A and B are shown apart, each in its own frame.
Chain A
Amino acid sequence: MSFLLCCPNCGERSVYEFRFGGEVRQRPTEEASLREWADYLYARKNEAGVQKEWWYHHLGCRTWFFAVRDTTTNTVLKTFGADK
Chain B
Amino acid sequence: MLQLFRKERMWRPHFLKARYDVVIIGAGVHGLAAAYYLGKRGVTNVAVLDKGYLGSGNSGRNTAIIRANYRTPEGIPFYHESVRLYEGLSQDLGYNVLFSQQGHLTLAHTDSAVDGLRVRAEANALLGVDSRLIGPDEIKRLVPAIDISTSAHQPIRAALYHPPGGIIRHDAVVWGYARGADRLGIEIHPHTEVQGIQTENGQVTAVQTNRGQIKTGTVLNVTSGWCSTIARMVGVNLPIVSHPLQACVTEPLKPFLDKVIVSSNLHVYVNQTDRGELVLGAEIDPYSSYSSASTLPTLEMIAAHTLELFPALVEVRVLRQWAGVCDMTPDYSPIMGEVPEVRGFLVDVGWGTYGFKAGPVSGKTMAELIATGRTPDLIKPFALSRFYEDRLVGEKAAAAVSH
Contact = CB atoms under 8 A, between A and B. Distances in A.
Interface of A: 1-2, 14-16, 18-20, 22-23, 34-35, 38-39, 41-46, 48, 53, 71-74
Nearest to B329: A42
Interface in B279-313: 286-291, 293-297
A71 B290 contact: yes
B156 interface: no
Given A43-B239, A44-B228, A2 B296 contact: yes
Given A2-B296, A2-B297, A43-B239, A48 B288 contact: no
B183 interface: no
Contacts of B289: 1, 71-72, 74
A73 B291 contact: yes
Contacts of A22: 241, 288
Given A2-B295, A16-B297, A46-B228, A39 B237 contact: yes
Interface of B: 226, 228-229, 232, 237-242, 286-291, 293-297, 330, 387-388
Contacts of B296: 2
B288 A45 contact: no
Given A2-B295, A2-B297, A16-B297, A43 B287 contact: no
Nearest to A39: B237
Given A15-B287, A20-B288, A44-B237, A1 B388 contact: no
Most buried by A among B237, B286, B287, B289: B287
Contacts of B239: 42-44
Contacts of A1: 289, 291, 293-295
Contacts, number: 68
Contacts of A71: 242, 288-291
B295 A46 contact: no
Contact of A74 (B241, B291, B297): B291
A46 B240 contact: yes
Nearest to A46: B228
Contacts of A72: 289-291
B293 to A, nearest CB: 4
A2 B321 CA distance: 14
B292 to A, nearest CB: 9
Most buried by B among A38, A41, A44, A73: A44
A42 B387 contact: yes
B241 A46 contact: yes
B228 A20 contact: no
A38 B374 CA distance: 26
Contact of A35 (B228, B229, B242, B388): B388
B287 A48 contact: no
A79 to B, nearest CB: 14
B387 A20 contact: no
A43 B290 CA distance: 18
A15 B291 CA distance: 15
A74 B291 CA distance: 7
Given A43-B239, A43-B387, A44-B241, 16 more contacts: A1-B289, A1-B295, A16-B297, A38-B387, A39-B237, A42-B239, A43-B237, A44-B240, A46-B229, A46-B238, A46-B240, A48-B228, A48-B229, A73-B291, A74-B289, A74-B293
